[in-house]
Structure 1
Amino acid sequence: MVKITLHGVGGHKADKEGDGDKAEVLVPCPPHEELGLRLHPKRSPVKNLWCLVVSLVVVLCGLVLASVYLYRHYFISQQVPEENFFHCRVLYEDSIYAPLRGRQELEENVGIYLKENYEQISVPLPRFGGSDPADIVHDFHRGLTAYHDLALDKCYIIELNTSIVMPPRSLWELLINVKRGSYLPQTYLIQEEMVVTGRVWNLRPLGFYIQRLCSGKETYRLRRHHSQRRINKREAQNCHSIRHFENTFVVETVICDSV
């Protein structure tokens, strides 16, 4: 309880008359706990729950934005734009192994990356056999070519032959000019011969694109076979061929473990 003393209106005169004129009034005082609540109010459970919900929303928004960023920069960037993707069908004369068969057809998908300066070619299994399906990367920045023989599930690396493989800008212009039709003009076949020289254990020096193509696969180095005698696939053991199109003619790449 709080004790409050009220004095008379008469000033000093009232003081002289003694304590009899004083009036005492007792006013109840609120408990200390109530004072504490008024000075430091506690947070309600609803406010705590609301703060938790807001925090979760902020975290989820951050995850969504991060996912969009990764999708745009790592997934979409690896996709070939429509104007840089070509489905090609080539008619050619095989004067090497089937001169009497007439015209043959080669089908492949070509992705041209002008900014990154490399080409990626996917050759499905031919209808009439004679060569292996393969994925090929021509990296003009590093001057390397990689063949992934899908039938063997092996990779082969060799220096880029710029006399056969057209650079990305030139090949892109060539395919743009014939994009209106289903077939390229009839062409011919040439052959290049290669021999395995050894195993490649470290793919990192080969660059990102070839490393991505050959990761987890047996990878070998190649050298070109410069002998005047042409390799006869019927006589040579462990030889495989890949027919592909990357110029105005079709190339048959013959790869042999030994000659």
Structure 2
Amino acid sequence: MVKISFQPVTKEREEDKFSVPQPHEQLVPVLQPKKPFPSGLCCLATGLAVFTSGLVLASILIYRHYFVPQVPEDSLFHCRIFYDDSVFAPLRGRQELEENVGIFLDDNYEQISVPVPHFGGSDPADIIHDFQRGLTAYYDIALDKCYVTELNTTLVMPPRSLWELLVNVKRGTYLPQTYIVQEEMVVTGRVRNMRQLGPFIHRLCYAKETYRLMRRRNQRHRIERRQAKKCHRIRHFENTFVVETVICERF
């Protein structure tokens, strides 16, 4: 009889196996793979910064060009004119008119600012004479209304001539005549399309009630005093004499 026997086989568990590092062995750290640098994000941020800077610069240039016109100092004048009012105040003696004038030779227009006068009977106003479009705009500050009419080149000097006149007045080599000329205007209707007036008048009259004016052809009959309450006067200097523009509603 044959006897068969089996030797017991013992398996070592993997968790029971460990090795003790020898003194001469060095521990090598496990290096994690580096994430790639987001170069696309960097380019996008740089592009946005350049675009924003360009947008800010363009906004500043547009604002300075369209809203804050830069005028050379030799084209800005402060005028004080003395004249005789023989129409409404013949006994008051000489009257004084004060205004600021800006002459834009390159754009061919003039801008006049008349503050509140020392005497009564005239409204403060801002005036633009656009020789390129042949238009004049009066912004009556007291009424907060704009009035537009055809440019009267008989009364208004062109920019170059007015500039030369004011330079001579400033130097004291010429004194303007001291009489007054009156022009009578009547309101004919409301202006709806402001862009047709050009950029300079559009800027002056933007968001304001704007009306068209027609010049009275027959200037022989003066406006009666009983009608004065329906009319407004703006006195300004833009020639060798003072001009009084009388703006009246339809009677």
**TM-score normalised by the chain length of structure 1:** 0.75
Task: State the partner residue of 2:19.
Answer: none
Check conservation: 2:177, 2:240, Cα contact below 8 A: no
Q: Percent identity between the aligned chains?
A: 62
Shift in Å at residue 103 of structure 1?
1.1
Shift in Å at residue 51 of structure 1?
8.1
Q: Does 1:134 align with 2:120?
A: no
Q: Aligned pairs, how many?
A: 218
Check conservation: 1:88, 1:184, Cα contact below 8 A: no
The aligned runs of 1:58-69 (5 Å cut-off) are 59-69=48-58
Check conservation: 1:237, 1:256, Cα contact below 8 A: no
The aligned runs of 1:43-82 (5 Å cut-off) are 43=36, 56=45, 59-75=48-64, 78-82=69-73
For residues 235 and 85 of structure 1, what CA distance do their matches in structure 2 show?
A: 37
Aligned residue for 1:83, secondary structure, equals helix
After TM superposition, which residue ranges in structure 1, 4 or more long, deviate above 3 angstroms? 50-62, 183-186, 233-237
Shift in Å at residue 184 of structure 1?
5.1
Aligned-partner residue type, residue 214 of structure 2: R
For residues 226 and 237 of structure 2, what CA distance do their matches in structure 1 show?
A: 24
- Provide the alpha-carbon RMSD of the alignment: 2.6
Shift in Å at residue 127 of structure 1?
1.2
Q: Summarize deviations over 1:56-99 as a string: whole Å, max 9, x none.
A: 46634543343234323431562322121111111111111111
The aligned runs of 1:176-215 (5 Å cut-off) are 176-180=167-171, 185=176, 187-215=178-206
Q: Summarize deviations over 1:181-229 as a string: whole Å, max 9, x none.
A: 5x95452111000111111111121111111111111111111112321
Check conservation: 1:89, 1:184, Cα contact below 8 A: no
Aligned residue for 2:57, secondary structure, equals helix
For residues 110 and 140 of structure 2, what CA distance do their matches in structure 1 show?
A: 17
For residues 149 and 245 of structure 1, what CA distance do their matches in structure 2 show?
A: 16
For residues 177 and 94 of structure 2, what CA distance do their matches in structure 1 show?
A: 8
Aligned-partner residue type, residue 255 of structure 1: I
Aligned-partner residue type, residue 64 of structure 1: S
Check conservation: 1:154, 1:219, Cα contact below 8 A: yes
Of residues 145-154 and 198-207 in structure 1, the stretch that sits farther from structure 2 once superposed is: 198-207
Shift in Å at residue 117 of structure 1?
0.8
The aligned runs of 1:31-42 (5 Å cut-off) are 37=33, 41-42=34-35
Of residues 229-238 and 187-196 in structure 1, the stretch that sits farther from structure 2 once superposed is: 229-238
**TM-score normalised by the chain length of structure 2:** 0.77
Match of 1:90 among 44, 59, 81: 81
Match of 2:111 among 102, 113, 120: 120
Q: Unpaired runs of 5+ in structure 2?
A: 1-29
Aligned residue for 2:59, secondary structure, equals helix
Aligned residue for 1:193, secondary structure, equals strand
Q: 1:120 to 1:208 in 2, by over 3 A?
A: same
Task: State the partner residue of 2:163.
Answer: 172
Q: Unpaired runs of 5+ in structure 1?
A: 1-32
Task: State the partner residue of 1:22.
Answer: none
Q: Summarize deviations over 1:92-129 as a string: whole Å, max 9, x none.
A: 11111111111111111111111111111111110112
